[in-house]
Amino acid sequence: MAMSVRSPFVVVMGHVDVGKTLLLDKIRGTSVAYREPGMITQHIGMSLVPWPAVERFAGPLVDRLKLRGRIWVPGFLFIDTPGHAAFSNLRKRGGSVADLAVLVVDITSGLEDQGAESLKLIQSRGVPFVIAANKLDRIYGWRSVENRPFLFAVEEQEWHAVATLEERIGKLIDELSRFGIEADRYDRVRDFSRQVPIVPTSAVTGEGIADLLVVLAGVSQRFIPRERLQVADGPARGVVMEVKEEKGLGVVADAIIYDGRIRKGDVVVTAGLDGPREARVRMLVMPKPLEEMRDPEDRYMAVEEVRAAAGVRIVADGLEGVVAGAPIYAVWDPQAIPHVQKQIKEEIAEIKIESDREGVIVRADTFGTLESTILFLRQQGVPVRKADVGPPTHKDVVEAVLSRRRNPAFGVILAFNVKVPPDVEKEAASSGVKIIKGEILYRIFDEYIKWSHEVKT
C-alpha cells in the first residue's frame, strides 16, 4: 500500500489568558504570509503551517541551527480548539491523537492552576511537549523587534533584562521540577530525551515564534516515531471532536482524520452512548482556501475526499447521538462493516468501567473526558467501580450505596461536565451518597480528597 508522511498534530494548552489564542493567531499569520498561494491549507478546527513556510520565515535561525534541508516533517497542524475537554477528546486507543503539545505559560506568573492540570493531562496521555514561556515582551527593559528569533534577540539585550528573564525561567524550572520534570531554556538543553525545552515567546511582538516552530520540528523528528506519521492509502481512521446541528445540513460531526482517506459516499462507523453507529457520508466540508474566501458568510466548500492529516466536517445521516471522543472509521468494503463495528464496540467497552469492586462512581460528558478522568484517578490511586458517559442515574446511586458498605470514602459519584437530574440528586441526598460535580478535574479530585478525609474520621 502506498504510504505518505503526514504533518504532526500539535495541541496548544495552558492556563486562561496566557496567550494561547494570540500565539496561534501569530503562528497562523506567519504561515499565511510566508506560504505559496494555492495550497489548500485550511482545515476545520486546525491550521497548517508547512515547513517550507517556516524555512522562509525563520531562515537565519534555521541556518544557525543547521536545520536547512534536514527536516522531513512536512509541517504542523495546530489544533485550534484546545482546552481540557478538547484535549481529552483527542483520544485514540492507548493514547492521544495529538503528536505534540505546546504548554503555554505566562513567563511573569508561572504555571498556574490550569497550567498544572494541562501538564498532568499531557503527561497522562504520554504526549511529548515543549513549553512556550509567553509574554516575553513584558520582561522589564526588554527591547523588542518584530518577529525576531529569541536566540538573536537575547544577544541584543541589556544585562538587566537578561537577568530578569533568567530569574523568571529559573522559577519556572523550579516549579516544573515539582512535577518531576526537568526543563531548561531550549538553547541550553543537552539531552532532549531528558529535558523539556522552554522557548521564550511573545505573541504580541512575534519574538520567539521562529524558535518555537524550529524546536517543534526538532522534537517531532526525534520523538515522534516515523511510523506514527505514515499515512496508508486506505479507509480513514479518525476521532470525533464535536457533534452539532448545522442549519441546512442536519447533524454534523467535526472530526480529525489521522490515517487514510475519507470519500463522499463512504460508510463510516462511529459510536453513541448505546454502541456503534453507522452512517453514510453525504458531504465533506472544508474551509475555502484563503484566496478564494471573498464573502465571510461563504467560508466553506464541499470536497470529494479528504486525506490524513486533516480536520473535516462530516455531513451524514445517522450521526445523531454520536459522542465526542468516539472513533470514526471509514469502511470501503461493505463486508467489513460488522468487523469494524466490533472493533469500535470493544474500544468503547475499554473506556467504560463496570465492576463490582469497591471504588468511586464516575460520570463524564464524552468518551474523551471519561477516559481522562479515569486515567487521572488511577494515577492518584483512587479505584473506580463504575464509569460511564452521561448524567448520573438512579442505578449509580445504588452502586455508590453498595460501594460504601466496604469503604465510606467510596459512597460518591464524581460528575465531570454533566448535569445531575434533580430526582437523582434528591435520591443521593436521602441515601447519603455524595455527588461532586464540576468542570475542572483537579477541583473535583481535591474536593473528593477533602470529603474522603472527613468521612473516614
- Positions in the binding site for ligand GDP (CB under 6 A): 14, 16-22, 134-135, 137-138, 202-204
| Antiparallel, parallel or unpaired: β 360-364 and 310-317 | unpaired
Minimum distance of Mg ion from residue 216's CB (angstroms): 19
Provide the β-strand partners of residue 171. none
16 makes contact, choosing from Mg ion, ligand GDP, none, with CB < 5 to 8 Å by partner type, with ligand GDP
- Beta-bridge partner residues of 313: 254, 285
Number of residues in the chain: 457
Shortest Cβ contact with Mg ion: which residue?
21
Task: Give the nearest distance from C-beta 86 to ligand GDP in angstroms.
Answer: 13
SS3 label, residue 386? strand
Contact call for residue 21 and Mg ion (CB under 5 A): yes
Distance of CA 133 to the CA centre of its chain: 19
Provide, rounded to whole angstroms, the least separation between the CB of residue 84 and ligand GDP. Answer: 13
State the minimum distance, in angstroms, from the CB of residue 152 to ligand GDP. 17
> Among ligand GDP, Mg ion, none, what does residue 18 contact (CB within 5–8 Å per kind)?
ligand GDP
Q: Which three cell numbers stand for residue 411?
A: 459512597
Query: Which residue, chain included where needed, has cell 442505578?
Result: 395
Three cell numbers, residue 267: 460508510
63 binds, among Mg ion, ligand GDP, none (CB under 5 to 8 A by kind): none
Q: How far is the CB of 142 from ligand GDP (least distance, A)?
A: 10
Considering CB distances under 5 to 8 angstroms, the limit depending on partner class, which of Mg ion, ligand GDP, none binds residue 64?
none
The answer for residues whose C-beta is within 8 angstroms of residue 450's C-beta and 6 or more apart is: none
In the complex, what is the shortest distance from the CB of residue 111 to ligand GDP, in angstroms, rounded to a whole number?
13
Q: In terms of CB distance, is 21 or 393 closer to ligand GDP?
A: 21
- Say which entry of ligand GDP, Mg ion, none residue 276 contacts (CB below 5 to 8 A, set by partner kind): none
Q: How far is the CB of 359 from ligand GDP (least distance, A)?
A: 35
343 binds Mg ion (CB under 5 A): no
Beta strand pairing status for 9-14 and 75-79? parallel
243 vs 367: CA distance, rounded Å: 13
Closest-approach residue to ligand GDP (CB)? 19
**φ, ψ dihedrals at 230, nearest 5°:** -85, 130
Q: Give, as one character, the DSSP assignment of residue 157.
A: S
User: Binding partner of residue 137 among ligand GDP, Mg ion, none, CB under 5 to 8 Å per kind?
Assistant: ligand GDP
CB of 16 or CB of 33, closer to ligand GDP: 16
- Residue 25 within binding range of Mg ion, rule CB under 5 A: no
- Nearer to ligand GDP by Cβ, of 62 and 132: the residue is 132
- Work out whether strand 237-246 and strand 230-232 pair parallel, antiparallel, or are unpaired: unpaired
* CB-based contacts of 313, cutoff 8 Å, min separation 6: 44, 246, 252, 253, 254, 255, 284, 285, 286, 300
Do residues 26 and 203 lie in contact, with contact meaning Cβ atoms separated by under 8 Å? yes
Contact residues toward Mg ion (CB under 5 A) are 20-21
